[in-house]
Structure 1
Amino acid sequence: MAAVAWIREIEYLRGFSALAVIAVHISMNFTLIPAVNLLALLNVFVYIAAHFAVPVFIFISGWVLAARYWGEYSGPVYYRRRARAVLPPYLLFTALYLLVPVEGAIRFAGVPALDAVASALFLGTAAYHLWFFAVIIQLYVLYPLIVRGYNVFDRAGAALFLLLALLFFQILWNVGAHAIGAFAGADWYTVLIRLFPSHLFYFVLGIHVARHTGRFRSVLRPLSPARVIAAAGAGALLVGGMWAATVLLSGGFSGATLGVFCVYRLLEPFYYVPVIAVLVLVAWRLEAGGILSAASRSFGEHSFGIYLIHPFVIAAAASLWFSLTGFSWADWLTYPVIFAAAVLVSYAVVRVLSGVPYAGWLVGGSRVRREPG
């Protein structure tokens, strides 16, 4: 096993992705706005443009795992550490979200049926954000095989060919998932989009960057930040604008055709890759130090727990805000207020819990530095 060195970009990237996840899960409430107005269209755009969050998390996972587990390492030790890192939090929060759903008003749902428990465990359906665990657990299990396959191509000098092939394969898989879901039933899409090929390119891209971190930095450093930002911004305008136009013309998100979904799946990787580059450039700028740098680093270090609990905070903050003000998801002020509350309260709760024995282990916290994958 290779020596583990701290990769300075990682903490910042985790923090940026956690912020994007929160933005996605707040902006998705545009569906509760009764009319297709400017507020709804703006939130459609944010909802789509911020979807880089999970691909970046998976890219980070590939990067960190490959930095830690490279060459000779103990398979049993690897699987034990991965299971200890991800299974207890996943099982605990699956149980909590089954008992206390957070879609709409927070309520006690009672003891769930066995089929609901099975679906929640295997597909991450207990809450709208837990599907990520269904994907990442598969990638963790398959990592030893994936990295061996990558090594074969890398030793042959064909790693970039592998990445292009995986990009093409991932696009076909995700487009196919939508097509099969449209003709065979939505349940097929739910399963296929949670299988590891749906995000395999991002994971292997992270492995590639870990293997060639110096080259990655040397290639990215001379690039013009303005051009990289422009590329990412153009991608956001393209995918976000496409969905905003679809909602405007069809009168709602449900009016999107299969063609729109397929074009979106075709375009999204070409947007997410420049976003990764932008986030790394921002991380380098923050590395200069200061209050913002420290806050960003700390937020990233606690991002695992923030990811787990933020739906509780969003639902509670929304209920309190609506009861105190009479506002709803149809009001402009609701979105920045709930976003700020979700960011600050989620961070504060995880920061406190990270210092509590057992609770800190379940929500991440300082564990990130000892077990970075």
Structure 2
Amino acid sequence: MRNQRVGSKSGKIAEINYLRGFSILAVLAIHTTGYFTKITPYRTLALLAIWTDVFSQFAVPLFIAISGFVLAKNYRQGFSLTQFYYKRARSILPQYMIFSALYTAFNYWGDMRSSSFSANLKRIALSVWHSDASYHLWFFAVIIQLYLAYPLIIKGYDFFKARNKSEYFLAGMLIIQVLWMVGTHTSYANVIKVNAIAYLFYFCLGIYALDKFETLKDLSQRLTPLWGTMSLLLTFGASFFIVIGLTTGHTYDEIPPYFTTGAELVYPVLRLVTFLFIWNLAAGLTIKRNVLAKFMARLGDYSFGIYLIHLFFNQVTIRILSNHQIGPSQWLFYPIVFTATLILSYAGVRLISFLPFSYYLIGFGHSKIIKREGTNNVKE
């Protein structure tokens, strides 16, 4: 992977793949440390898990920003809407529908065994429609909505850019996103399922990052400790609202909405600072050829497949640990679940990649050369 500049429509940018690698590690961390909600009574282990979980929440916003970046790189002006939507559908719908069916069977196999074929087919169809076959598949509802809106978004962005006011457009998206997220903690907006609005700013930030790519390339590596420190401090600040809720006697699911409203004002700043921190880490890997750099690059290649498949291994590992009386209240639980999920997911995606038509399962394949068309959340 060569460290290339933006210039060629099809040119690959090494930093993007490393960003994917960091993001998928954060996804695994979220789905491991998220079990802090099961820790009773509240103690130090829960606090560390909360901090890790809140910090790792940059994962999906960064995937969204990568999507905006690569879509803008490949589809800017004069592109065919028919071809655009065809390629977007091909890049995510087969994988989404297949894994929705698999996770539905995985999670409801006991009920499905005693149900009719038509009833099971209806259950699968509803899980696809509601994006709830597994709790991580909600992301596909967001990315599909953003794909649908992209032609309109890029027209709006370029309208402002032509007048040297692209920052105004970005600020407007930020205001809409924050107001939307605050509204979801009220009884007025939390029933509306246009979830993509919660990620509009990050998606447009990716487009803006493409235009400012040369500036990003010139960021000083000396600032990496500063971005990291700021990210940690903001993580503690955003976690404060959850911690107060838990220490005042609430369980996580019972924390009043107004506790988390304040955090929504902190999150965009936290994400932006964390993006800069992760970007600098990715840029540093592009000049190295050590084992870590190679592993992170391959992790970026496999990130889409790992995102799809990892919950199988996550849940199986947790069930096995439960049978051995190891649960979320024990320190050993977290490193075992994270490590097992990472290793098994990586190996699983690599094996699947050699199968025929693996692109339609995990978005990646070794069996034949597949031209990469545009992007989804983790593919360029």
The normalised TM-score by structure 2 is: 0.88
> Match of 1:31?
37
- Deviation of 1:343 after TM superposition, in Å, equals 0.6
With over 3 angstroms needed to count, the CA separation of the structure-2 counterparts of 1:60 and 1:334, relative to structure 1, is same
Matches of 1:109 and 1:351, distance apart in 2: 32
The answer on whether the counterparts of 1:32 and 1:330 sit within 8 Å (CA) in structure 2 is: yes
With over 3 angstroms needed to count, the CA separation of the structure-2 counterparts of 1:280 and 1:343, relative to structure 1, is same
With over 3 angstroms needed to count, the CA separation of the structure-2 counterparts of 1:66 and 1:272, relative to structure 1, is same
The answer on whether the counterparts of 1:2 and 1:70 sit within 8 Å (CA) in structure 2 is: no
> Match of 1:217?
217
> Match of 1:147?
154
Matches of 2:289 and 2:349, distance apart in 1: 23
- Partner of 2:185: helix, strand, or coil? helix
The answer to whether 1:177 aligns with 2:176 is: no
Query: Which residues of 2 match residues 93-242 of structure 1 at below 5 A?
Result: 93-101=99-107, 107-110=109-112, 117=124, 119-180=126-187, 189=190, 191-192=192-193, 194-218=194-218, 220-221=219-220, 224-242=223-241
Two-structure CA RMSD over aligned residues (Å)? 2.2
Q: Which amino acid in 2 is paired with 1:189?
A: N
- Deviation of 1:119 after TM superposition, in Å, equals 4.9
Percent identity reads 32
Q: Which amino acid in 1 is paired with 2:345?
A: S
With over 3 angstroms needed to count, the CA separation of the structure-2 counterparts of 1:34 and 1:348, relative to structure 1, is same
The answer on whether the counterparts of 1:41 and 1:247 sit within 8 Å (CA) in structure 2 is: no
- Partner of 2:58: helix, strand, or coil? helix
The number of equivalent residue pairs is 360
Query: Which residues of 2 match residues 1-373 of structure 1 at below 5 A?
Result: 3-101=9-107, 107-110=109-112, 117=124, 119-180=126-187, 189=190, 191-192=192-193, 194-218=194-218, 220-221=219-220, 224-287=223-286, 288-323=288-323, 325-366=324-365, 370-373=372-375
* Structure 1 unmatched ranges of 5 or more: none
- Deviation of 1:2 after TM superposition, in Å, equals 6.8
- Deviation of 1:214 after TM superposition, in Å, equals 1.4
Deviates more, 1:222-231 or 1:149-158: 222-231
Q: Which amino acid in 1 is paired with 2:310?
A: H
Q: Which amino acid in 2 is paired with 1:247?
A: L
- Partner of 1:179: helix, strand, or coil? coil
Q: Which amino acid in 1 is paired with 2:316?
A: A
The answer on whether the counterparts of 2:68 and 2:205 sit within 8 Å (CA) in structure 1 is: yes
Matches of 1:258 and 1:179, distance apart in 2: 7
- Deviation of 1:261 after TM superposition, in Å, equals 1.9
- Deviation of 1:189 after TM superposition, in Å, equals 2.4
Q: Which amino acid in 2 is paired with 1:371?
A: E
Matches of 1:319 and 1:206, distance apart in 2: 38
Q: Which amino acid in 1 is paired with 2:17?
A: E
Q: Deviations over 1:328-354 (max 9, x none)?
A: 222110110110000111011001111
- Deviation of 1:143 after TM superposition, in Å, equals 0.9
- Partner of 2:76: helix, strand, or coil? coil
- Deviation of 1:270 after TM superposition, in Å, equals 0.7
- Deviation of 1:228 after TM superposition, in Å, equals 1.5
Q: Which amino acid in 2 is paired with 1:155?
A: A
- Deviation of 1:371 after TM superposition, in Å, equals 3.0
Q: Deviations over 1:213-242 (max 9, x none)?
A: 113333x33762222112211111111233
Matches of 2:37 and 2:126, distance apart in 1: 25
Matches of 1:109 and 1:269, distance apart in 2: 41
Q: Which amino acid in 2 is paired with 1:127?
A: S
Matches of 1:96 and 1:190, distance apart in 2: 28
Matches of 2:38 and 2:356, distance apart in 1: 40
- Deviation of 1:117 after TM superposition, in Å, equals 4.7
Matches of 1:258 and 1:123, distance apart in 2: 24
The answer on whether the counterparts of 1:15 and 1:300 sit within 8 Å (CA) in structure 2 is: yes
With over 3 angstroms needed to count, the CA separation of the structure-2 counterparts of 1:29 and 1:200, relative to structure 1, is same
- Partner of 1:224: helix, strand, or coil? helix
The answer on whether the counterparts of 1:175 and 1:265 sit within 8 Å (CA) in structure 2 is: yes
* Structure 2 unmatched ranges of 5 or more: 1-6, 376-380
Q: Deviations over 1:292-314 (max 9, x none)?
A: 00000001110001001111100
> Match of 2:3?
none
Q: Deviations over 1:193-224 (max 9, x none)?
A: x5221111100110111233113333x33762
- Partner of 1:240: helix, strand, or coil? helix
Matches of 2:370 and 2:33, distance apart in 1: 28
Matches of 1:124 and 1:261, distance apart in 2: 24
With over 3 angstroms needed to count, the CA separation of the structure-2 counterparts of 1:93 and 1:149, relative to structure 1, is same
The answer on whether the counterparts of 2:358 and 2:364 sit within 8 Å (CA) in structure 1 is: no
- Partner of 1:48: helix, strand, or coil? helix
Deviates more, 1:164-173 or 1:223-232: 223-232
- Deviation of 1:124 after TM superposition, in Å, equals 1.4
Q: Which amino acid in 1 is paired with 2:339?
A: A
Matches of 1:99 and 1:46, distance apart in 2: 31
